[in-house]
């Protein structure tokens, strides 16, 4: 209370908090972030460099061992593929959403946003039902006479890619939708008045202006996909691990902490670097804005 009273004396206009009040209000936030976020990750990074003795060996093992190198490549490739699929599937939906009005717009929005607020485990479980030997997909294929034997779908990398795309698609749609909505309607009308066909208007006016949304959504999907754990762990094959499932294995089965820490270090450094490089494009608040 005294703090609040004092700040009033310091700034009689009352609109701005004093530096001290600002600090005190931010303190719990900084404390939690320092204690539960920065410290544990910093500790891991330190371990990756000093155990069993000060060394870069843990990092060398990530690249030197062909099995591990393949895990890295598979992770990058899977994340890129999921991102590309999300653009191809998501852009038209975002475009449609930005044009739709009334009940139709609400329906599309619910379809996009509801999965975002439902558990990743529920969505992953749903895909594991669909991919089973006698699941919906195999039953449908056999009923249509497309195949006589059920396909092996579960525990394949394709299953991981499809389910990850499903989980991450809303993160692509919402930023693109945000970018499309911020384009004034007049632009398309002006292009039409000047004689441009609808296709040309789209290609030369709408598409370039929506690119920031595409870049932002792609980064969001790509960065999240790189560290994805639940879906590869439940739907993927143990022979085709991704970096997160390899980390989990190192900790839970092999108990090789320094190497797991180095893997986490590589992943975190790469993701953070990309986020810093593209910090201007990443608009996280759009996600919440889009949800409203």
Question: Taking CB under 8 A as the criterion, which residues in 73-102 touch another protein?
Answer: 89-90, 92-93, 95-96, 99
Nearest to 98 by CA among 22, 154, 182, 24: 182
Residues contacting another protein: total by CB under 8 A: 100
Dist CA 31 CA 97 (whole Å): 41
Q: Does 282 bind another protein (CB under 8 A)?
A: yes
Question: Residue 87 or residue 179: which is nearer to another protein going by CB?
Answer: 87
Nearer to another protein, 115 or 212 (CB): 115
Q: What is the DSSP string of 48-101?
A: HHHSSSS-SHHHHHHHHSHHHHHHHHHHHHHHHHHHHHHHHHHHHHHHHHHH--
Beta carbons of 116 and 170 less than 8 angstroms apart:
yes
H helices of 117-156, where? Answer: 120-130, 136-143
> In the complex with another protein, which residue's Cβ is closer, 179 or 267?
267
- Dihedral angle sign, alpha carbons of residues 238, 244, 246, 249: negative
Q: Is the backbone peptide bond immediately before 212 cis, with ω within 30 degrees of 0?
A: no
Q: Exactly one of 67, 193, 255, 288 binds another protein (CB under 8 A); which one?
A: 288
Q: Does 132 bind another protein (CB under 8 A)?
A: yes
In the bound state with another protein, the residue whose beta carbon lies nearer, of 179 and 226, is 226
Q: Which two tokens stand for residue 33?
A: 């972030």
Residue 260, SS3 per DSSP: helix
Q: How far is the CB of 69 from another protein (least distance, A)?
A: 19
The reply to whether 40 sits near another protein by the rule CB under 8 A is yes
Out of 247, 258, 262, 290, name the contact with another protein by CB under 8 A: 247
- Restricting to residues 143-202, which ones interact with another protein according to CB under 8 A? 166, 169-170, 185, 188-189, 198-199
Window of 60-68, 145-153, 205-213, 265-273 that interacts with another protein by CB under 8 A: 265-273
Out of 127, 177, 222, 259, the only residue in the binding site for another protein (CB under 8 A) is: 127
């Amino acid at each position: 209370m005294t703090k609040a009273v004092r700040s009033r004396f310091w700034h009689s206009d009352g609109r701005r908090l004093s530096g001290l009040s600002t600090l005190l209000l931010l303190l719990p936030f900084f404390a939690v972030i320092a204690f539960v976020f920065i410290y544990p990750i910093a500790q891991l990074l330190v371990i990756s460099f000093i155990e069993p003795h000060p060394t870069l060996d843990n990092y060398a093992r990530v690249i030197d061992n062909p099995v591990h190198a393949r895990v890295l490549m598979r992770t990058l490739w899977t994340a890129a593929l999921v991102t590309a699929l999300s653009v191809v599937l998501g852009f038209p939906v975002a475009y449609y959403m930005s044009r739709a009005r009334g009940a139709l717009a609400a329906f599309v929005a619910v379809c996009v946003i509801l999965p975002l607020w439902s558990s990743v485990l529920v969505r992953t479980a749903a895909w594991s039902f669909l991919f089973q030997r006698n699941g919906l997909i195999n039953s449908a294929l056999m009923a249509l006479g497309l195949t006589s034997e059920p396909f092996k779908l579960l525990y394949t990398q394709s299953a991981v890619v499809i389910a990850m795309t499903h989980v991450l698609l809303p993160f692509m749609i919402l930023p693109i939708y945000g970018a499309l909505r911020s384009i004034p309607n007049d632009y398309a009308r002006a292009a039409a008045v000047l004689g441009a066909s609808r296709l040309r208007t789209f290609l030369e006016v709408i598409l370039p202006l929506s690119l920031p949304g595409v870049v932002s959504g792609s980064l969001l999907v790509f960065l999240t996909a790189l560290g994805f754990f639940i879906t590869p762990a439940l739907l993927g094959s143990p022979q085709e691990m991704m970096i997160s499932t390899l980390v989990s294995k190192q900790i839970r089965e092999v108990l090789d902490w320094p190497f797991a820490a180095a893997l986490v270090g590589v992943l975190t450094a790469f993701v953070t670097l990309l986020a810093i490089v593209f910090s201007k494009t990443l608009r996280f608040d759009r996600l919440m804005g889009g949800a409203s």
